[in-house]
Amino acid sequence: MKPFVYRFKTNNFRYVYDVTTNNIIQVEAAIYEILEEVYNLNIEDIVSKYGCRYPAGEIRKAYNQILLQRDKFGMFRPNDLLKINRPNSEKELVSKLENSLDQLILNVTEECNLRCKYCVYSGSYYHERRHSKKHMSYSVGERAVRFFLDRCKQPVYGNTSINNSISFYGGEPLLDFNLVKKICEFAKKSAKEDILFSMTTNGTILSEEKINYLVNNKFFLLVSLDGPQKINDRYRITRNNKGTFDLVTRNLKKIREMNEKYYKENVHFSIVLAPPFRIEEVIDFFSAGNDLIAGNGTIINFMGQEDNRYSSLFNLYKKNLEEEFNKARQCYIDLTTLGEKQSCTLNNLRKIFDPFLYRIHMRKLAPIGKEIRANGICVPGTRRLFVSVDGNFYPCEKMGESIYLGNIYDGFDYDAIFGLIQSYVSISEEMCLKCWACRICGLCYLSARKGNTLNKKRKERNCRNALINYSLFMKLYCEILEKNPDAFSYMYANVPRKLETEILRQT
């Protein structure tokens, strides 16, 4: 038996992350050393074991401080977790699905005019569909919109932060521009509140007519672009194996010339980092390397490594990725600890580092009890309901057309949805209940997905990788706060979150 903690060091200090209370505490060397012995050895045995490193008086003081924190504040207690709480009862689940949908994603076509090498629909992924000529019919799109509008989350009076949205996805959705327009017009007439529209596009077929419509309807436009020409054109190619950079940037200029305000506020870029990795060069390009691109928002992802023919490529460039990541990490530290609040470079680096740091910074400081919730999962379909060209429901676009949740004709399949939650919790529980990162982890169904099922071995492997990442980011978080205690104030925690460095000293 031992305390439910994770111990780690920065260059300057020793820390303990106490899982039971969710506190991160800076501790003296003796406390750090003997902490995991307090439930197995008495004080005399501990003095005997560590007497060669610390004076007996220092060990006894450390031992007493640990016991005081345990008895007075509930810290340093052993792991008492018994189970993972299922997110919702069946009754609550049905209520949420019938009243609280956030975003509808319509896969208007499976057709695409490009043949990007890493595309999930390229044929290189073993469990995914391939590009096809299939298009969504208007009747399917209309019915999907009706279904969504009848169940979407309604804004509370005075709360303007809730904005339901409809997104268009593909393939390349602009290949069926007339369908997109018809669905938008129907949604605008049918919605009780304002609806936000968005689209993920490769940016290659943006005519003046299309741009005018997107601008007039205030579309949030996510354009796929991976960096400067030599990087973008490695993977993002046409059917004739030609690069797409010149074509995309020419269309981006067209948008900016037609409406510069819209371009700066509504056009963002979707970036995929792929081997051979050039993270520093990509960040520089989207930060200062091109006046057409720099300053617009970005979303950054890494190319998928599982269930495709690129696994050996990732292994080949493993060292390259590590070197590039470390350079980006150091740049992030430098900009953050200097107190810089906003810059293009920092904002782009945040897209890589903040998903982990946000979960650490925004953790709830409260006792854990005997149950833990499944942190990263949603009620499938509520957050991002993905509708296929045929009108079938799936959890989100990242999960693809894998795990069926119902359809536009019969509605949600509640048994399938509840079964997905139960299955995920069941295969996760054994690892999660023993894991020091169980309160900050954000893994979701995608971490266990293998084809159209959830796979325990897949989940366990992704859990191990996530644990390595959280250990690195926990250290990074403390390194930054040591130099700049207000570094993460932009995340808007309910209370200012600084390191709990004085807890032990005050007692």
Indicate whether 331 belongs to any domain.
yes
Indicate whether 423 belongs to any domain.
no
Sheet harboring 5-9: ordered strands across? 5-9, 14-18, 23-27
Structural domain boundaries, residue 37: 5-78
| Cα–Cα distance for residue pair 394/199, rounded to 1 Å | 18
| Cα–Cα distance for residue pair 502/27, rounded to 1 Å | 9
| Cα–Cα distance for residue pair 489/211, rounded to 1 Å | 37
Same domain, 149 and 276: yes
Q: Which of 505, 503, 463, 374 lies closest to 73, judged by CA?
A: 503
- Token pair 């493993």 in the structure block, residue: 318
Same domain, 69 and 115: no
Of 355, 388, 414, which one is at a domain's C-terminal end?
355
DSSP annotation of 220 reads: E
DSSP annotation of 128 reads: S
Range list of H helices, 196-317: 208-216, 229-235, 245-258, 260-266, 279-284, 311-316
Indicate whether 365 belongs to any domain.
no
Same domain, 52 and 143: no
Indicate whether 349 belongs to any domain.
yes
Same domain, 135 and 14: no
Of 339, 355, 371, which one is at a domain's C-terminal end?
355
**3-39 b/e with 16+ CB inside 10 Å = b?**
bbbbbbebeebbbbbbbbbbbbbbbbebbbbbbbbbe
- Token pair 């896969």 in the structure block, residue: 107
| Cα–Cα distance for residue pair 17/484, rounded to 1 Å | 19
The total number of residues shown for the chain amounts to 507
Q: Please state whether the predicted TM-score (pTM) of the whole model is above 0.85.
A: yes
Of 292, 321, 355, which one is at a domain's C-terminal end?
355
Indicate whether 72 belongs to any domain.
yes
Indicate whether 170 belongs to any domain.
yes
Q: How many domains does the chain have?
A: 2
Same domain, 48 and 117: no
Does the CA dihedral 432-434-438-441 come out positive or negative? negative
Same domain, 129 and 28: no
Output the tens digit of pLDDT for each of the chain's 507 residues: 899 999 999 999 999 999 999 999 999 999 999 999 999 999 999 999 999 999 999 999 999 999 999 999 999 999 999 898 876 678 889 999 999 999 999 999 999 999 999 999 999 999 899 999 999 999 999 999 999 999 997 654 444 445 789 999 999 999 999 999 999 999 999 998 889 999 999 999 999 999 999 999 999 999 999 999 999 999 999 999 999 999 999 999 999 999 999 999 999 999 999 999 999 999 999 998 788 999 899 999 999 888 989 888 988 999 999 999 999 999 999 999 886 667 899 999 999 999 999 999 999 999 998 988 887 899 999 999 999 999 999 999 999 999 999 999 999 999 999 999 999 999 999 999 999 999 999 999 999 999 999 999 999 999 999 999 999 999 999 999 999 998 998 886 444 444 444 334 333
CA distances for 175 relative to 113, 117, 144, angstroms: 8, 20, 20
Q: Exposed/middle/buried for 180, CB within 10 Å: 0-12, 13-18, 19+?
A: buried
